[in-house]
Amino acid sequence: MVLRVGLTYNLRKKIAEHEGLPEDYYIEFDDESTVNAIASALASGGCRVIKIEADENAHTKLRRCKPDIVFNIAEGTRGESRESHIPVILEMLGIPYTGSGPATLAICLDKAMTHKVLSAYGVPSPKFQVFKRADEELDGNLSFPLVVKPLLEGSSKGIRSSSLVRDEKSLRKQVSWVIKTYRQPAIVEEFMPGREFTVGLIGNEEPFVLPIVEIQLDKLPNGASPIYSYEAKWVWDTPEKPLDIFKCPADIPLELDEEIREIAIKTFKILNCRDLCRIDMRLDKEGTPRVLEVNPLPGLIPDPNAHSCLPEAARAAGFTYEELICTILWQALKRYGLQNLFKNKHLVKIP
Ligand SMILES: Nc1ncnc2c1ncn2[C@@H]1O[C@H](COP(=O)(O)OP(=O)(O)OP(=O)(O)O)[C@@H](O)[C@H]1O
Ligand SMILES: [Mg+2]
Domain ranges of the chain: 4-99+334-347, 125-190, 196-329
Counting from 1 in the atom list of ligand 1, the atom nearest the Cα of 196 is 31
Q: Ligand 1: distance of its center to the CA of 332 in Å?
A: 28
Residue having the nearest C-alpha atom to atom 19 of ligand 1: 156
Residue 228 Cβ contacting ligand 1 at under 6 Å: yes
What confidence tier does 192 reach under pLDDT thresholds 50, 70, 90?
very high
Residue having the nearest C-alpha atom to atom 10 of ligand 1: 227
CB 326 within 8 A of CB 334: no
Residue 295 Cβ contacting ligand 1 at under 6 Å: yes
Which of 184, 8, 10, 217 shows the shortest CA–CA distance to 112?
A: 184
The CATH code belonging to domain 196-329 is: 3.30.470.20
Q: Ligand 1: distance of its center to the CA of 32 in Å?
A: 25
Q: Write out pLDDT tens, residues 212-232.
A: 999 999 999 999 999 999 999
Please tell us whether the domain made up of 125-190 is placed in CATH 2.40.128.720: no
With pLDDT > 70 as the criterion, what percentage of the chain qualifies?
100
Rounded CA-CA distance 331/318 in Å is 18
Rg (CA), the chain: 20
Q: Write out pLDDT tens, residues 31-60.
A: 999 999 999 999 999 999 999 999 999 999
Task: Among 3.40.50.20, 3.40.50.300, 3.40.50.620, 3.40.50.2000, name the CATH number for the domain at 4-99+334-347.
Answer: 3.40.50.20
User: pLDDT at residue 18 above 90?
Assistant: no
Rounded CA-CA distance 302/179 in Å is 33
Which of 265, 282, 349 shows the shortest CA–CA distance to 315?
A: 349
- For a ligand 1 pocket test, name from 156, 196, 237 the mutation site with the most ligand atoms within 8 angstroms of its C-beta: 156
Q: Which residues contact 235 (CB under 8 A, 6 or more apart)?
A: none
- If DSSP codes are grouped into helix, strand and coil, which group holds residue 101? coil
Q: Ligand 1: distance of its center to the CA of 7 in Å?
A: 28
Which of 265, 276, 279, 262 shows the shortest CA–CA distance to 335?
A: 276
